[in-house]
Amino acid sequence: MKLSRMVSNQNGVSRKRANALIATGRVSVNGKVCRNTQHDVSEFCAVTADGDVIQQARPSRYIMLNKPAGYLSATVDDIHPTVLKLIDPALHEDLHIGGRLDRASTGLLILTNDGNWSRRLTEPEIKIPKVYRVTTENPITADTHQRFSDGIWFEYEQLTTSPAQIEVLDEREARITIYEGRYHQVKRMFHAVGNRVTSLHRERMGRIQLDDELTAGEHRPLTAEEIASV
């Protein structure tokens, strides 16, 4: 929401009056005077006008989890345990998952209550790189690199995936970098070249790297640098 609109809506004044308050330095965002009427403010911003509280800042949460196998990337499920069972209950409110992993997959999972931030992390159009380490049922064939680089046609979505990179580590092991994060994308890409993923571990999303010190099931808050990288 633009700052002028928030001040007008919450302070019961006209838009013209709100603009005047902002322009004369009588409005602060997160403790700092803001004279830009078009400044974007979210629910995580504290806003005051003439010292009166217009909006209290809602606490934001950004959590890195080293997801173990067997947990659903969901906040609630009647059958299987969800990843929320691994997070401190005091942090649960309004958390959602930024970039799901299926129940058998492991590695980097991000949970947050900031929807705008998580959309920037996961939307296919933004093309933030996601890096996975995979093991396959069959040896990785020589043409896999070219097929992935050309893009794989997904019939259901009626689209071709963005070019992906593959670094072969062993006969049946590779590191894959994709830029979209579509439903079961890595597994479907390997299926398209006649192979099957037997294990999938996410190592990185953008510049957020899974912390080596987190054992499976452990979590920690993201650092300010990691949050800002998105």
DSSP string, 134-148: EEESSPPPTTHHHHH
Can you point out the beta strands (E) in the chain?
Answer: 27-29, 32-33, 47-49, 52-55, 62-67, 96-98, 106-112, 130-136, 153-154, 159-160, 165-170, 173-178, 197-205, 208-209, 219-221
Q: Pick the catalytic residue: 40, 50, 77, 102?
A: 102
d(C-alpha 122, C-alpha 103), whole Å: 19
Per-residue pLDDT, 110: 98
- Is residue 7 within 8 A of residue 54, CB to CB? The reply is yes
> In a 3-state reduction of DSSP, which class is residue 156?
coil
Return the bridge partners of 97, or none.
111
Per-residue pLDDT, 12: 84
Q: Tell whether 229 is covered by a domain.
A: no
Q: Tell whether 230 is covered by a domain.
A: no
Instruction: Specify the CATH number for the domain of residue 10.
Output: 3.10.290.10
- Each residue of 83-137: pLDDT tens digit? 999 999 988 989 999 999 999 999 999 999 999 999 999 988 889 999 999 999 9
Is the pLDDT reported for residue 37 higher than 90? yes
Q: Are residues 206 and 106 in the same domain?
A: yes
Q: Are residues 35 and 99 in the same domain?
A: no
Residue 181: pLDDT band by 50, 70, 90 thresholds?
confident
Per-residue pLDDT, 60: 93
d(C-alpha 110, C-alpha 97), whole Å: 6
d(C-alpha 78, C-alpha 81), whole Å: 8
CB atoms within 10 A of CB 90: 6
Q: Tell whether 204 is covered by a domain.
A: yes
Nearest Cα to 139, choosing from 170, 161, 165? Answer: 170
Tokens 């965002």 identify what position? 29
Report the relative pairing of strands 106-112 and 197-205 from DSSP bridges.
parallel
d(C-alpha 106, C-alpha 135), whole Å: 12
Is the pLDDT reported for residue 10 higher than 90? no
Instruction: Specify the CATH number for the domain of residue 142.
Output: 3.30.2350.10
10 vs 37, more confident: 37
What is the total count of domains within the chain? 2
Residue 11: pLDDT band by 50, 70, 90 thresholds?
confident
Structure tokens at 5: 């609109």
Is the pLDDT reported for residue 169 higher than 90? yes
Catalytic site residue 150? no
d(C-alpha 56, C-alpha 73), whole Å: 31
Q: Tell whether 97 is covered by a domain.
A: yes
Residue range 163-168: mean pLDDT, rounded = 96
- DSSP symbol at 33: E
Residue 142: pLDDT band by 50, 70, 90 thresholds?
very high
Residue range 64-93: mean pLDDT, rounded = 93
Phi, psi of 11 (to 5 degrees): -100, -5
Nearest Cα to 20, choosing from 41, 32, 11? Answer: 11
Is the pLDDT reported for residue 33 higher than 90? yes
Q: Are residues 205 and 170 in the same domain?
A: yes
d(C-alpha 119, C-alpha 113), whole Å: 11
Q: Are residues 48 and 148 in the same domain?
A: no
What residue numbers bound the domain in which 35 lies? Answer: 3-55
